[in-house]
Structure 1
């Protein structure tokens, strides 16, 4: 199989207009080489009025050489990715700083016992899971997504600040619930925004660049907690309260900045994009993603039914869950786990930093190769293999952790090197294999189901099992193995479906279905090809 060379290819090859007829011997070329039609696995917007370009638009795209296209996307990178990465960094710090607050005395001050802490973790995920799809349906109604995203960030910043003044576990439960309400829309919304700017062959590296900030949040969270906790007693507040108060205020400021700094769409980005650059981004998006719309309530109901009955989304969600359960389990409990290796509270905060840095680097490397070869399954398989290996070692050695501190700490690094590449891979795979009508809601549905792993991760590290945590390590191992199996299954089904669809000519398909029927089918159209 020949593959695009590097990340400088202009999107995933697609067939448009009269070139859509599929033949096993047909070849199309791009600057990275040629692919057979069986290997061209992505075709969106089956209708000329929605998915194809006019002759004038095709000629304009053809006039843009690869160097110009790369310059345009690098320009977008500099504007879009730093803002999304910063906001996701803020979101993850605000979500996980409860773990840092715990070892600074939060549970003692709030008189929490037993599984009270685990309940506080899990409550966050109830609205977070339920509201991801509705939030993305609201997002696509906004002409300027920056305003909606900024409002979400401001609201959750206020909630985090309020967490710093709660007086009992009930107050903590309430703030965690509302944190889930407002954070629910950010990740699926950000994934959708990225898919609106980049073609399929370029999305995973960009999604990983944003998601790497999730890993770095663990590093920053430990450093910030180490510094802020020294404010213990200032203003009559304990150090753990200042962690929430100061980080919440920073989130509010980030939300205000988002309203002005986050790029909206190519058509609205006239200040920093030249007219030709904006046209190129719009036309290339139409070519590789389609031009579907989802404005009527009737269409939205149809889309909802289509999403709920889409088999691939459940397997993709299982891939996502393979990361969510172990990631949240570690993120909420790593300071405690490292402290139980024999380190002081301050040193435990600092020692959480290196594993997260390794996770961020791993996510970027994994995405680079996944985009280079436009093949997601190996990226997921390698990552889940690392997770299985690391938690197998931790499961076996944690019973004698005092004699295996270096080994266990090393495999904590390996675990994070495995879990962090998975969500951007699953998100890119989902975005590339949904049509324009279902992409926003489908992405949100996949992540909402996948984030059930967050509830699992909230309960698998039980204080009564410290320091061995057999339930935590064993469950994480099993989830990763399930995700690996799901990725293999997806790859096989995509190949089988593409081969079956390639056996039909476009002419016979259009004789059988009307344009409206093909448009309504979205990715289920026999003209659509799945990305591997």
Structure 2
């Protein structure tokens, strides 16, 4: 039974209105809220309503998150090391400690609590840590604040990606994830401009420019976290801005996309074990590591790289980083759009890694400032799109709300811990060309490329097995023979889907 060919409950007519749902047959998906009349819901208008309510604010929160995380790179250019009397190695350690608590997976907490409480609470707390980071007077204080900043910020990115996957179909998730993540590229551009502007406050209140960068950005985050409680919506079945028919349509759309757990799931240890024992989880961790490690190295050190290679002072170096991030933002959204339209996430991942690798190879061999600056654009346009595309690819291929939450948390947490490595690869003694740092980042990209090829190959092979009927279950009184009992015996297709998730024979992996 091919899920892609089954008729979805709550299907859409040519005019975009959701039709009345027929009584489900024993072999089809049971209808969510069968008593609710959804004939008056226009699906296109509903999706626009979701997009405007969810994406802009979440993207803004991630912009602040990435701004807070990487602003230390801008602060360094304005005398952070000199004022705190720290060496280059101590600065690298300050970058590193951020990533250890940042590696804690927290999506299970998000699922158990309301997103409006969990996400806004995390943001409020890390905003306080960011503000206090501007008040430190010594190396120990900087280390403590970086640790706490990482601990509170840890849950936002995996949490929001999982949260969005609970609202959109698999073919709709990529562009939303890309737009959300593109806030990181915007923050890179905006961060340079903002740092250059805030640097004019040097001396006010007896604080240097780098301290004001932390203080003002932190206060903005505190304010955003406080109001987020009233702006962030909870999961679809509890969303206050939707009517009951609209909630019903959202969940039926997800169920028609083989997200059977969209109607709700009770936490059971078996769902966590399913994630831990799934080969896709572990291979995806390598794929994501191949993009996330380079991301942190790139974002933390781009101003310094430009400053050293082109010989510019702090403010021009920050300003020259702006067009790099702008182009990366465009590429990120374009890749997300193409992947949603054509379902070729694995192939696009490979293309992104190849482009990034080409950029870093040029950075390694080049001794020309202009050529190296061009290579920085290539690297950014390969690294940044690979992050949301990988997240969407993973999310598309895991069914079960708790299993998906654990898988995304593990993958993103493992990627984040590699920031502890990549934040140490650009040493002051290697400037201006940073050959060793570029080489280590290229190694990460190579791992991402190889693991993406392997993932794509294995998923294609598994889909072929299902097409040949090798994974068919025995459905009592409906389908199967004695040979299919090895794949499980179930009373109905609904039961098979619910129990097996993405291992169900009708589920097809996204390539």
TM-score by length of 2: 0.88
Deviation, 1:17, is 9.0
Instruction: Tell whether 2:332 aligns with 1:354.
Output: no
Cα separation, partners in 2 of 1:51 and 1:476, compared to 1, 3 Å: farther
Instruction: Tell whether 2:502 aligns with 1:523.
Output: yes
Deviation, 1:347, is 0.7
Summarize deviations over 1:413-467 as a string: whole Å, max 9, x none: 1111111111111111111111114011111111111223312211111111111
Q: Is the 8 A contact 1:204 1:425 kept in 2?
A: yes
Give the 5 Å matches for 1:35-184: 52-54=29-31, 68-129=42-103, 131-132=104-105, 135-142=106-113, 144-184=114-154
Q: Is the 8 A contact 1:17 1:48 kept in 2?
A: no
Which residue matches 1:194?
164
Deviation, 1:84, is 0.7
Which residue matches 2:440?
475
Q: How many residues align?
A: 481
Match of 2:252 among 275, 279, 283: 283
Q: Distance in 2 between matches of 1:51 and 1:363?
A: 37
Could you say what the CA RMSD is over the residues aligned between the two structures, in angstroms?
A: 2.7
Match of 1:260 among 217, 230, 236: 230
Q: Which has the larger displacement, 322-331 or 186-195? A: 322-331
Deviation, 1:523, is 2.3
Q: Distance in 1 between matches of 2:307 and 2:395?
A: 40
**Partner secondary structure for residue 451 of structure 1:** helix
Q: Is the 8 A contact 1:367 1:379 kept in 2?
A: no
Instruction: Tell whether 2:489 aligns with 1:513.
Output: yes
Deviation, 1:30, is 10
Q: Distance in 2 between matches of 1:280 and 1:414?
A: 42
Match of 1:424 among 380, 388, 391: 388
Which residue matches 1:433?
397
Cα separation, partners in 2 of 1:114 and 1:73, compared to 1, 3 Å: same
Q: Distance in 2 between matches of 1:64 and 1:420?
A: 40
TM-score by length of 1: 0.85
Deviation, 1:170, is 1.3
Q: Is the 8 A contact 1:51 1:286 kept in 2?
A: no
Match of 1:379 among 348, 355, 365: 348
Q: Distance in 1 between matches of 2:63 and 2:33?
A: 42
Q: Is the 8 A contact 1:53 1:287 kept in 2?
A: no
Which residue matches 2:408?
443
Which residue matches 1:23?
none
Q: Is the 8 A contact 1:53 1:286 kept in 2?
A: no
Q: Distance in 2 between matches of 1:277 and 1:267?
A: 10
**Partner secondary structure for residue 278 of structure 1:** helix
Deviation, 1:112, is 1.1
Any unmatched runs of 5+ in structure 2? 15-23, 474-478
Q: Which protein, 1 or 2, shows the higher relative CO under an 8 Å CA cutoff with sep ≥ 6?
A: 1
Q: Distance in 2 between matches of 1:389 and 1:64?
A: 52
Q: Distance in 1 between matches of 2:300 and 2:315?
A: 17
Q: Distance in 2 between matches of 1:49 and 1:283?
A: 17
Deviation, 1:520, is 4.0
Any unmatched runs of 5+ in structure 1? 1-11, 19-27, 32-46
Deviation, 1:285, is 1.8
Instruction: Tell whether 2:456 aligns with 1:491.
Output: yes
Which residue matches 2:421?
456
Summarize deviations over 1:499-518 as a string: whole Å, max 9, x none: 21233345225784246676
